[in-house]
Amino acid sequence: MIAIGCDHAGFDLKPHVISVLEELGLPYQDFGTFSTDSVDYPVYGARAAQAVASGQCEKGIVLCGTGVGISMAVSKIPGIRCVCCSDCYSAVMSRQHNDANMIALGARVVGSELAKMILRLWLTTDFQADRHARRVDLIGRLEKGESIE
């Protein structure tokens, strides 16, 4: 199950996101927003992120104008590793090396075709683990306030 969350600025990109999920046969849960009426991106980002953090959803896709604000917001939730992404290389690497479990796209930054290409890559690339697992574990320890020195 893939969680989707967006604000008003990301709303128009959502049908394109859903088209990729349908193409890949991935079920999704849409946590809103459901119109272009102005809303606060942390609210909708958090709804999607909490579903990922709880294990209800495997991954999450969040959308706002830049991808920046909503990625900052969801990354405050323990267990969330969100990449704010506008290129294909980062999409792949954020899965292979960082085990990103959420991706944020900026609807005012990327066109719909680039967004779809990024998502296809991000959704179909696996974490490589090995030495990268140690580094991701270190991120988790920072999140808990532990020293990693």
Nearer Cβ to ligand RB5, position 1 or 65? 65
Contact (Cβ atoms closer than 8 angstroms) between residue 27 and residue 2 = yes
Residues 89 to 108 in contact with ligand RB5, rule: CB under 6 A: none
Q: Shortest distance, CB of residue 145 to ligand RB5, whole angstroms?
A: 26
Q: Shortest distance, CB of residue 60 to ligand RB5, whole angstroms?
A: 16
* Among positions 3, 4, 7, 121, the unique one binding ligand RB5 when judged by CB under 6 A: 7
Q: Shortest distance, CB of residue 93 to ligand RB5, whole angstroms?
A: 23
Calculate the alpha carbon distances from 40 to 25, 33, 127, 132, 135 in Å. Answer: 30, 10, 32, 34, 32
64 is catalytic: yes
Is the dihedral angle over the CA atoms 83, 89, 92, 93 positive or is it negative?
negative
